[in-house]
Chain A
Amino acid sequence: MDLPGPIHDFLLVFLGLGLILGGIGVVLLNNPIYSAFSLGLVLVSISLLYILSNSYFVAAAQLLIYVGAINVLIIFAVMFMNGSEYYKDFNLWTVGNGFTLLICTSIFGLLITTITDISWYGIIWTTRLNQIIEHDLISNSQQIGIHLSTDFFLPFEFISIILLAALIGAITVARQ
């Protein structure tokens, strides 16, 4: 989206803050229903981040599928299986948690140094010079539809068969 600079930066900081706090809340809150709502916050801020990076169709699909279907399903699962057992073992900090935290933060720091070391703009400019500069008037959603119906046609059909098989299998497993 072509916003002026300070508004764009403010929105980016705002969404990043929501994403960081929501991610911490998913892992560290001790009631699972709160962490499910925190997951909803993360998914909504990711969808707004997609709108900021000009991908409106994926933003709409993220809102509809993740927030509308997956998050509601997870909240239903939490409410369906909510026992009193969740409150027994919070504050249970073992050695394995600290070890995992150490390994995750070390790999994360390594990845941050790698990301900041690579000169992304050289890569982006060399790939942009290779592309044919044609200013066509079709939008992003039309472009995605054309790709899905021409050269990604077979994976698209496979996705539909996988979804059908997964939903039938889920109903078969869940009903008794």
Chain B
Amino acid sequence: MMLEHVLVLSAYLFFIGIYGLITSRNMVRALMCLELILNAVNINFVTFSDFVDSRQLKGNIFSIFVIAIAAAEAAIGPAIVSSIYRNRKSTRINQSNLLNK
């Protein structure tokens, strides 16, 4: 049935996001994997709101809040990455040691 399938899809998306977030060497790709994780959380919210709470729809409202926070994060993240790129001429994660000295 649909609920278990969607939950398994959401768990798959969450773990592939965590895998990419840990193993990626590029900051922009790490931001993309962060979006994948937030989307997995959103899928769970909307699915449980449809199946359990179809009158009140509070899961939909929480997913809208998560989307707004993700929009703020997607504005901040490339700004920081471009600032690091301007100083270091590189967007690799293991070379960003600007706070080191």
- What does DSSP make chain B's interface, helix, strand, loop or mixed? helix
Q: Mark B66-84, 1 if CB is under 8 A from A, else 0.
A: 0111111111101111110
Across the interface, which residues of A come within 8 angstroms of B32, CB to CB? 26, 35-36, 39, 74
Chain A residue nearest to B24 (CB atoms) is A27
Q: Does B100 contact A (CB under 8 A)?
A: no
Contact B19 A32 (CB under 8 A): no
* Interface hits, B1-47 → A, CB 8 Å: 2-9, 11-13, 15-20, 22-26, 28-29, 31-33, 35-36, 39, 42-43, 46-47
Contact B76 A140 (CB under 8 A): no
Contact B36 A174 (CB under 8 A): no
Interface residues of A (CB under 8 A from B): 12, 16, 19-20, 23-24, 26-27, 32, 35-36, 39, 42-43, 46, 49-50, 53-55, 57-58, 61-62, 65-66, 69-70, 73-74, 76-78, 80-81, 83, 85-86, 89, 92, 96-97, 100-101, 104-105, 107-108, 111-112, 115-116, 120, 123-124, 127-128, 131, 134, 140, 143-144, 147-148, 152, 155, 159, 162-163, 166-167, 169-171, 173-174, 176
Q: What are 18 A-B pairs with beta-carbon distances under 8 A?
A: A19-B13, A24-B16, A39-B35, A43-B39, A46-B43, A53-B6, A62-B67, A73-B78, A81-B85, A83-B91, A111-B11, A128-B52, A131-B55, A147-B58, A148-B61, A162-B68, A163-B71, A163-B72
Known interface pairs A74-B32, A134-B55; 12 further A-B residue pairs with C-beta atoms within 8 A, sorted by A's residue number: A16-B9, A19-B13, A23-B17, A46-B42, A54-B54, A55-B50, A66-B39, A115-B8, A124-B52, A143-B57, A159-B65, A169-B76
